[in-house]
Amino acid sequence: MSAKAALIWSPFASEEDAAAAATLLLDEGLIACANIMPAMRSLYQWLGERGDSRECGALFKTEAGLLARAIARLEETHPYDAPAITGWEADLCGAATAGWLAGWGLPES
């Protein structure tokens, strides 16, 4: 049995904030893994002004059936007032990844 992989990308102000979000989503069974990438520079337009800040990024791995729930939960708990959260289903993934996601699943409620 295999699963369809899905990914979620979101920036955070700090590695600690990203790790807290990852821990919550892992504890709630909404993601299987999070990769936290420190020290990225974000150039952006927000509320009519140009911004330039240091952030870190997080890439969350989940099963496609959990994608909408994981995004909604991340949006509820993200420390930013208007977080940038993007999720998508992967067109392809390796057999080992598909097997891992199929076997990982959501814990019993």
Give the model's pLDDT for residue 108.
Answer: 47
Give the model's pLDDT for residue 109.
Answer: 40
Ordered by where they begin, the domains of the chain are: 5-91 (3.30.70.120)
Give the pLDDT of the chain (109 residues) as one tens digit per residue: 568 999 999 999 999 999 999 999 999 999 999 999 999 999 999 999 999 999 999 999 999 999 999 999 999 999 999 999 999 999 999 988 888 888 875 444 4
Give CA separation, 74 vs 3, 83, 91, 94, 98, in Å: 22, 9, 23, 26, 23
d(CA 34, CA 19): 8
Q: Does the reported pTM lie above 0.85?
A: yes
